[in-house]
Structure 1
């Protein structure tokens, strides 16, 4: 049964998709901590993977110009391999540990790029493979890895549409793979399946809205705002565990 709390969750999912599209970090960096206030962390992993499938299909459709095949191979293949490893390892950690780890990751990532905004990984084959592996592992274990992949891809100076489409294509392969791992691990609860159609619509609509906003706003300035928001969300996630902040659905 839907309540105002269910509506609040879906509104936050829409905000996460819009922010993730404009900031270039992917919606999971916002969606995972948002959803963590409503669901167990392992259930969040399952919902995130399914939500991302529709989100990335829409990104590819809207930003399909100039997919970079070389990056699809160098970053995509290790990402898919290591998302399986991260997803399987998530079975061995409880939700509290994973939530704290996610909060620390968000704070560290946001602070690093606020202090070093020009930081990039060298645009070479082996750093790209390493970046893909780390982003895939993070996506499998913590639910979000797009930020690390974005760092890796930024060094190649892709045109904006090509950057988003290539990242989304890699993410699509990651999400399809980890969805299988999460479903087999029991992370997708039958009672949560009612949200999937709404999340699919939100994935499409949020990407479209983000694209329209991106035309009228400086991506560099918005990234700074997004990074500050990521740090705040990370801190709130950690405090939520300490003070047991939870919203019952």
Structure 2
């Protein structure tokens, strides 16, 4: 039987808490962490399964804040493009895609943090574009929440609306890509030992993150979300440059 890494499980809990506080899900932290413990295919498979529990917890805890219009405008293109991205994982070199993702997140997060007056117009076109890009990234790289977070943060949503809507979209994405990753052979039997632990962590981490959110004023929420995305970009880029290139 494969030996369980309890440090990995602890870091997964931290990722879930941060993902809940940031409002864009734990995969943006979980994927870089899991890359240190598993091959890229296993990371994709585990992330999809783990996130189903994580996002169900967020939907239950934050369900009153759901924005149905954004759910349609961001969610539908996300589902379509996560399938496309998932199918393309066997075609593209994930190393260079991770590099591009890290640079992309750093530039956009810094842009919104420095240019505080910059606002993306909350129109259907921008929502569809952000949903398509985040879904494609989720399918191809295992994480698209940060891109969706950037899109939704630019809409200046109230934090409960932000988290509930993001979680529902993420759940639909994970449900779709789980079948694609299974078809690709990315869900490995020897990794399934972690699934029960990760399902519990998804629930516990979400609950802890929700409690922390009660102490965060709305005016600081967007700044925290963007700061976390910046950290994600730096971690992703550093992981590629130091350990893979």
Q: Are the structure 2 counterparts of residues 148 and 225 from structure 1 closer, same or farther at C-alpha, using a change threshold of 3 Å? A: closer
What does 1:52-131 align with in structure 2 at a 5 Å threshold? 52-131=51-130
Instruction: Supply the distance in 2 between the matched residues of 1:192 and 1:119 (Cα, whole angstroms).
Output: 43
Instruction: Supply the distance in 1 between the matched residues of 2:235 and 2:136 (Cα, whole angstroms).
Output: 21
1:75 is paired with a residue whose SS is helix
1:34 Cα offset (Å): 0.6
Counterpart in 2 of 1:247? none
Instruction: Supply the distance in 1 between the matched residues of 2:106 and 2:67 (Cα, whole angstroms).
Output: 30
Instruction: Supply the distance in 2 between the matched residues of 1:116 and 1:25 (Cα, whole angstroms).
Output: 21
Instruction: Supply the distance in 1 between the matched residues of 2:86 and 2:45 (Cα, whole angstroms).
Output: 10
Residue segments in structure 1 that go unaligned for 5+ positions in a row:
244-249
1:95 Cα offset (Å): 4.3
- Write the deviation string for residues 96-122 of structure 1: whole angstroms up to 9, x where unpaired: 334434433443444334433554431
Residue segments in structure 2 that go unaligned for 5+ positions in a row:
none
- Write the deviation string for residues 216-236 of structure 1: whole angstroms up to 9, x where unpaired: 234345335424522431233
Please, which moves more after superposition, 107-116 or 208-217?
107-116
Question: If the length of structure 1 is used for normalisation, what is the TM-score?
Answer: 0.88
Matched pairs, number: 242
User: What value does the CA root-mean-square deviation take over the aligned residues?
Assistant: 2.1
Please, which moves more after superposition, 55-64 or 19-28?
19-28
Q: Does 1:223 align with 2:214?
A: no
Question: If the length of structure 2 is used for normalisation, what is the TM-score?
Answer: 0.89
Q: Are the structure 2 counterparts of residues 136 and 117 from structure 1 closer, same or farther at C-alpha, using a change threshold of 3 Å? A: farther
Q: Does 1:12 align with 2:2?
A: no
Q: Does 1:185 align with 2:187?
A: no
Counterpart in 1 of 2:137? 138
